[in-house]
Amino acid sequence: MASSSSSSSSSFPFILFFTLLCLCKCNASPRLPTTLTIIPISSHLSKSSLPSLDQIDAHDKARLIFLDSLAAKKEATIASGTPFHQAGSYLVKAKVGTPGQALLMAMDTSYDAAWVPCSGCIGCSNPTPFAHKNSSSFRPLHCAMPQCRQAPNSFCAAPWCRFKATYGASSFEGLMSLDSLALADDTLPRYAFGCLRQVTGKPVLSQGLLGLGRGPLSLLSQAGNLYRNTFSYCLPSFRSSSFTGTLRLGPVGQPTRIDFTPLLTNPSRPTLYYVNMTAIRVGRRFVNLPPSALAFDPTTGAGTIFDSGTMVTRLVAPAYAAVRDEFRKRINLPVSSLGGYDTCFTEPFVPPTISFHFDGMFVTLPRENVVIHSSYGTTTCLAMASAPDNVNSVVNVIASYQQQNHRVLYDVANSRIGVSRELCS
């Protein structure tokens, strides 16, 4: 009897401990999703300043040159007079420094590093740059730190790490830095980013840039386990002034009913989100494609990527020709061209749907994602084009216009991308 009483009394603290532990876990609030509003850059422009089809085409040609430059850390050349990240960009609000200073940053899935225009920058066009001297947590990045070697085109001006890059008629340089980055309610201390100090030629970044790629300086890498290598976005129409999308960081709150396709890794372009596209369908008909048009080849860079910075989907020449010809056959109206678009119509028509097929997933585009309308007049064009001749023409780019009003989920932790229909509002 005494033995039983002693055993009961000695076990009481353990019972109490596990009871309290259970209560703590049961009452703990689950982590809410980190969600940022996505704003089309065009919402900051007047209607007369919205990009024309010619400007969209020029932007995308420059973008593909930039994507091509990622292969061997080459400097990218952009067409003279074409502002980089001025058309087709989607912005999110962030705060940099202590106390936090509000900045708009363009989200870019094909870039790793972050850049912000800093006060005193010569040639920067941002009227409210980051006042780094007013931040108590701002620190220049020392040359010996690993982030210096990870930054593109970096060099050491002892003891501080600097960078420079050239884009045709434009170039910029600055200081690699560390400071606090706040996104919604999350704060990432000692975030490595570029502090722009000088821009010559055409301004290349009127706002900051937030890299969402797969490399060591990207948001996913620098956030550690906070977002578990997962994010998604829903992009609103770039011509819309009333709709906004969302950037959702981390696995919480992501769609559960969604199909996925595996991510592929290209060692020559480790930042890019490669997937295996297997077929393209126009209406109910699969177009006839040579296997080489869609094949993934890390050596040449061939394959298919998802990219937020290219505006209109670009297909390699054989794939585009097959899609274009079938599209024209379905419309059966006189064809004209406008700028870089060779499949345009001036008469009203109902476009067929177009579907992209991937391993384990297919995405059928709604009609508003298939055609693009001229800002002036009644011309409507197929919202796709062939890769320009002056760049690596072996990569297919699933661009932001075709991604609009879809939730695109980048689950890097499980090496996959998912797409589901979602209206951004």
Q: Is the peptide bond before 99 cis (omega within 30 degrees of 0)?
A: yes
User: What six digits make up the tokens of 314?
Assistant: 């670009």
The sign one gets for the Cα dihedral 366, 367, 371, 377 is negative
CA distances from 142 to 84, 154, 158, 175, 342 (A): 29, 12, 8, 10, 51
If you search the block for the tokens 């209607």, which residue do you land on?
47
Q: Which of 111, 119, 50 lies closest to 86 in space, CA to CA? A: 50
Catalytic machinery residues: 108, 307
**CB 348, CB 275: distance < 8 Å:** no
Integer Cα distance of 386 and 230 in angstroms:
31
The DSSP code sequence of 286-326 is E----GGGT--BTTTTBEEEE-SS-SSEEE-HHHHHHHHHH
User: What six digits make up the tokens of 300?
Assistant: 């040449």
Q: Which of 224, 269, 234 lies closest to 418 in space, CA to CA? A: 234
Q: Which of 361, 358, 356, 335 lies closest to 347 in space, CA to CA? A: 335
**CB 22, CB 13: distance < 8 Å:** no
Angle at CA 321, nearest 5°, toward 317 and 326?
155
User: What six digits make up the tokens of 262?
Assistant: 């595996």
Bridge partners of 398, per DSSP, are 306
Integer Cα distance of 297 and 204 in angstroms:
31
**What are φ and ψ of residue 285, in 5° steps?**
-105, 125
Half-sphere exposure for 330 (CA within 13 Å, toward CB) = 20
User: What six digits make up the tokens of 135?
Assistant: 């931040």
Contacts of 26 (CB under 8 A, 6+ apart): none
Contacts of 157 (CB under 8 A, 6+ apart): none
> Which amino acid is it at 340?
G
If you search the block for the tokens 């434009």, which residue do you land on?
170
